[in-house]
Structure formats: structure tokens, C-alpha cells
Chain A
Amino acid sequence: MDNQAPDKNPPDKPSLANTPPDGSLPADSTPDEKLVEVRGLVKVYGPATRALDGIDLDIHAGQIFALLGPNGAGKTTLMRILTTQLRPTAGRASIFGRDVVRRAAEVRALIGYVPQEMSVWTDITGFENLLIYAKIYGLPAASRKKQVSEALDSMGLSGFAKTLVKTYSGGMIRRLEVACALLIKPKIMFLDEPTIGLDPSARRAVWEKILTFKREFGTTVFFNTHYMDEADLYSDEIAIIDRGRLVKIGTAEELKRSIKRDVVRVGLGPGAVAGQKAIVRLRALPSVTEVGVAESELTVAVGDAETALPAVIDVLREESVAIAKISAEKPTLDDVFMAYAGSSLQAGPDLREVRSVRRQIQKG
């Protein structure tokens, strides 16, 4: 994964420079404008299921934004409202200042969308899929085929353009879907669980391509995921959603720091022993919450490793404890999720709850 480190610096205030000449960006918009603005959004299914329970959210242009939460948390509902498929029960949402309910048609012309479920026809070729969508989207006939070929190329699929989609792998289908969403050169791309069910190498390949076009076009990306490593690696900002509420928003770094659960591991030198006095003095440090002793290692739970480290080292030096190595560990996003939502992201939600939400959705 480490060689896949994404570009964490969004291209210098993007999107305007990269707007195609025919782009329908309003003249009064500025790069700093909130691209997505959500206020007090509520969605109720049936009599009792509050899928969204008052969401407030701002997303600025040029970001990769991750909505992280377990299944059934409301991620898909939020995305379906933002992509004009569902009407909110209360509250409002707008994209580029256009209300997603009242100006839905305008919003649709600005957004790309890849639903969680497969959204291509498997009984025709990849090229034909994009061609049909290009016609539906109304791409000019003169450049249509060229645009389709370019989109396939940008997703690394040109070699499979003339192959029936039913022979594609899961990762290839996902890339085809992203290529399809790219056809209209959207201002913002909505990806609902873009890598669900893919193996790690296919996941990497999908993300590599998403990051490439994001850099190239300055497209803002909004994705839903329940994979914390994806949110961690690829997003500029993360919102944690649980049971229809946003519990915390920030960069991965900020989120991890905010729960103040860093761990400092001290490997002791050969023959060195951390005496009782050293342990007591460590525990007494204001920044330290817990100290664990193993054979040749001390585990020091601290709020923030960077500020706690000097004090920890000072104590060990003064107590003449030889240090062989020292490392600081940040909490994972799962720890963050645990801290804010009170449950583990990986354990997943109560299955019964998911089923009842599904039923409500199906009943409409």
C-alpha cells in the first residue's frame, strides 16, 4: 500500500482553470465556494427508520472527501439525496449553489455518479456501454467516439474495449463505471463504495485511476466507504457517519489526534530493566495515561505522542534506563470510530437493523 501514497495536496485551488470552455460553472463562482452544502438533512423511511438524522456538511472544491461508516449508517441515502434520486424528508442540500430538489436537472448535468451496485450492461462490450451512455448524456456526435476511447484509455481499459463486459473482472467493471461517469467531465464525482467486494490489488488499481483523473481535471471526489484504510489513504477529509448522524469531520490526521490515544513503544537496551521508580514517574507524567511493561519493552499510552515523547525520554534517561529503540504509533481510524460511535467499524451493525432498513427502502 505504501507505494500508493496518494497526492494529499489538492492541485492549487483547482477546478476553475480546468473547467472546459463549455462548462456550466456560474460566472460568480469562486474556487473557494462550497461545492456541496448540506443543512439539517433528514430522511425518514416508513414510520420509524430515520436513515439520516440531521446532517450538516460542507465540501470544498478540489477535495477528496470520504464518508466513512458501517453498513446501514446512512451513507448511501445521503449520496442518493445529493445525486437527486431521493427527496429529503427535511432540510436542504445544494451542489454548486443549486438545490438538489428544486434544480435537480441542473445538478445532474454537473455530477458524475457510480452507484454501489453494478451499473453497466454485461451483454454488450465496454465500448458500447460508454457509447450508449455518451448518447444518453448528449455528447456531441463529432467527438463522441474519441471521448469514449479517451475515457476507456484513462481507466486502463483500451485493450478490452471490444470485449463483452460479462467477461470483465470486478475491478475492470468498476473502472468501466468510473470511465462512464467521467464522460461528462463532471465537477464532482460521487462514488458509492467504489471498491466493495474487490481484492486488494483491484482496489489499488481502481484508486490509482481515480487519483490520476482527479489530479488531471481537479474533479472533486465524494466517496462512501466502510473500509477505513481507504478513507485513511485516499481522502483529504473524512466525515464519520453513524446511525444517520455525522459524529466527526476532519483529516485522517486530525481525527486520529483528536481521540488522544497514541502509543509510544520503548525497546529497552540489552540487559536494561525499567525499575519500579521509572514506571511510577512515567505514570505521573500529565500526558501519560497508562504504562505497560513487557520483557524488554515499555508500552506508554499517551494523549499525543509528539508532545509526550520528550518528557518520556527525559524520565527514562534520568532513571538510567537504556533505550534501544523508540517508536510512536497513531491510532487507526477504527479506534477513532470506536471513540466517537462507541462501536467498531469492522464489527458491522446489527444485521436485523440493516434488514429492516432495506425493507423500508424497498417499500418506498
Chain B
Amino acid sequence: MNSLREMMAMMELELRRLRHDRTEIYTRAIQPILWLVVYGTIMSSIRAIPTGGIPYLAFITPGVLLQSTVFVSVFYGLTIVWERDTGILKKLLVAPVPRYSTVIGKTIASGVRAIFQALIIVPVALLLGVKFIPRPLNFLAALVELFLISGGFAAISILVASFMKTRERFMGIGQAIIMPLFFGSSALYPVKMMPALLQRFAVLNPLTYAVDAVRGLMISGDVSHLARDTGAIILFDAVMFVLASVSFRKIIE
């Protein structure tokens, strides 16, 4: 009960922050929009990548959406480092709520932010002529997948934040996590096109499953792997939540 309470409060905090200031969401949208507008448009005209009949721009849209949400959640760990430099974390620890709920509350809050981030990119994709499957339920389900994977990555960032105690160190690590995961997933090209070693990595990469799920729901309509994808994401979340909650002690002391 107490933990649920804190998680809801953390989510509300994030919504209230967004209500006061959305600048960050806009500036963070620039990079994914460049992926779509520049990289996507150019690569579409080459037609070098087999996408199974889907226009290339539409093919990479889920990947770009996920990359931007993952960016948001990984850098969310930064706010934990920042909150440790301030007294907020100390105060949360002294509040009468279990500590793991602070961790999960944070990851949920990052999911909220990630969804808003994605919502900004969707209209850009529409303008570029990407055809989404026009079913609201599919769209909602895709947002749920985004939310779920974002939680796991926020947990990774809390885990990393508990080892990196300064913001500067954290910035570098954040990039070093996101880019390999992005390139080692089916975000930009099908897994089958990758070298054998990278293919093995892609199988273990949670982003691969998230991309597959979101692409199925939003673009291709092929949801035959949805259960497997969602299962993989939830497993990833669960493992990361446990690790992050355990390592959270290190942040405090």
C-alpha cells in the first residue's frame, strides 16, 4: 500500500514537472527527428535494406521512438545522482515508505516522461508519410510496451548511478550504454542482416524485443511474437528492478 502510494506520487511529480516546463522534451526530440528526417529519408531512397515490404522510414520509426524513450530513461538515473547531491533522496529515505518503492517510483516516473517524448515524435513521423496501423488499441498497447521497457532502462541507470557518483562520469556511461544497444537491435535493420556475433548480442538485447513488439503493433500488424516480446521485457524489468533496489543502498551511503 505504502509503496503504491509513493509510486503514484512520483508519477504525479513527473506530470506536474512537465506541466511547468516541457523544454527538455522538445530539445530531446531533435535527435530522433534527425534520424527520421535525414537518415530515414536518405536510406529510403537507396532501398538497400530488406524490410519485408514496409517503407524504410516506417520500418525505423519504432526503433527511433524507442531510442528516444531509452535515452530519457537512462538519463533519468542522472536525476537520481542529482537528487543525491541535493537532499531529496535523503528525505525520501527517511519517509515512512519502503526503499524499493523509491526505486520503482523513479522508474515509473521515467516511463511517464518517455511516453510524452514518444508522443512528440509520432506527429513528425506522420508528416513524413509514415502509415501507422489505425487502431487506437494497438497504439495504446505500443505505448504500454514503451512504458515497460523504459522502466527497465531507468532501473539500469539507477544501477549505474550507484557506481558513478558524479554527473560527469555518468554522462559518458549513458552514451556508452544506449548506442550499442541501439545498433545491436533491429531498430535500423533486421537482425538477420547482422554479423553472426552481433546477432547473438541482439538476441540478448531487450531493445530487440521492444522494437519487435512496437513495430508489430504500430507498423506491420504482425503481433505473432507479442507475448514472447512482452515476456522478455517484463523479465528484463524484474531483473533490473531487483538489481537496482539492491544497489540503491550504495547511493545512500
Asked if B88 CB lies within 8 Å of chain A CBs, one says: yes
Interface segment, one of A64-72, A118-126, A281-289, A305-313: A118-126
- Across the interface, B16 reaches (CB within 8 A) one of A84, A108, A128, A137, namely A128
Q: How far is the CA of A84 from the CA of B20 in the complex (A)?
A: 34
Report the interface size class on chain B. Answer: 20 to 34
A35 to B96, CA, bound (A): 19
Whether B87 contacts A123 by the Cβ 8 Å rule is no
Stretch among B2-10, B45-53, B170-178, B206-214 lining the A interface: B2-10
Would B20 and A115 count as touching, CB distance under 8 A? no
Set of chain B residues within 8 Å of A137, measured between Cβ atoms: 95-96
Q: A135-B9, A136-B97 are in contact. Are A113 and B91 (CB under 8 A)?
A: yes
Q: Cβ of A86 and Cβ of B16 under 8 Å apart?
A: no
Residue interface bits A133-160, CB-to-B below 8 A is 1, else 0: 1011110000000000000000000000
B95 touches A133 (CB 8 A): yes
Q: Report chain A residues within 8 Å CB of B253.
A: 86, 361, 364
Answer yes or no: A90 CB below 8 A from chain B CBs.
no
Whole-angstrom distance between the Cβ of B36 and the nearest chain A Cβ:
29
Chain B positions within 8 Å of A83 at CB level: 94
Given the known inter-chain contacts A86-B253, A108-B95, A135-B5, please indicate yes or no for A119 contacting B86, CB distance below 8 A.
Answer: yes
CA distance A105 to B98 in the complex (A): 8
Q: Which of A86, A111, A118, A132 has a CB less than 8 Å from the CB of B9?
A: A132
Nearest B residue (CB) for A106: B96
B contact patch SS: helix
Q: Which residues of B contact A117 (CB under 8 A)?
A: 85-87, 90
Q: Is the CB of B94 within 8 A of A85?
A: yes
Residue among A137, A164, A184, A362 with most chain B CB within 10 A:
A137
The smallest C-beta distance from A257 to any residue of chain B, in angstroms, reads: 37
* A212 beta carbon closer than 8 Å to chain B: no
Contact in complex: A119, B91 (CB < 8 Å) = yes
Bound-complex Cα distance A292 to B253 (A): 53
The answer, among B17, B90, B95, for a CB contact under 8 Å with A121, is B17
For A22-52 the 0/1 string (1 means CB < 8 A from B) is 0000000000000000000000000000000
Contact B8 A135 (CB under 8 A): yes
| Dominant secondary structure at the A interface | mixed
Instruction: Judge whether A57 is part of the interface by a CB distance below 8 angstroms.
Output: no
Give the A-B contact count at a CB cut-off of 8 A: 83
A338 at the interface (CB under 8 A from B): no
Residue of B nearest to A86 (CB): B253
Question: In the assembled complex, which residues on chain B have CB atoms less than 8 Å from the CB atom of A4?
Answer: none
B126 at the binding interface (Cβ < 8 Å): no
Which residues of chain B come closer than 8 Å to A109, judged between CB atoms?
A: 96
Residues 79-119 of B, flagged 1 when their CB comes within 8 A of A and 0 if not, give: 00000011110111111111000000000000000000000
With A and B bound together, what is the CA distance between A119 and B94 in angstroms? Answer: 12
B197 within 8 A of A: no
CB distance A138 to B90 under 8 Å?
no
- Minimum C-beta distance from B117 to chain A (A): 17
Is A169 located at the chain interface by the 8 A CB criterion?
Answer: no
B21 at the interface (CB under 8 A from A): yes
Contact residues, B1-48 vs A (CB, 8 A): 2, 5-6, 8-9, 12-13, 16-17, 20-21
Shortest CB-to-CB span from A264 to chain B, Å, is 46
**Contact of B92 with A136 in the complex, beta carbons under 8 Å:** yes
B167 contacts A by Cβ under 8 Å: no
A320 contact set on B, CB distance < 8 A = none
B127, CB-defined interface residue at 8 Å? no
Asked if B250 is at the interface (CB within 8 A of a chain A CB), the reply is yes
A-B pairs with beta carbons under 8 Å apart, 15 shown: A85-B94, A85-B252, A108-B94, A108-B96, A113-B90, A114-B87, A118-B86, A119-B90, A124-B13, A124-B16, A128-B16, A132-B9, A136-B95, A180-B91, A361-B253
Other than A132-B13, A136-B95, A164-B20, give 19 A-B pairs with Cβ distance below 8 A: A83-B94, A85-B90, A85-B252, A105-B98, A116-B87, A117-B90, A119-B90, A119-B91, A123-B17, A132-B12, A132-B16, A133-B91, A135-B9, A136-B6, A136-B97, A137-B95, A138-B2, A138-B96, A180-B91
The 7 closest A-B pairs by CB, nearest first: A115-B87, A119-B87, A117-B87, A135-B9, A364-B253, A109-B96, A115-B90
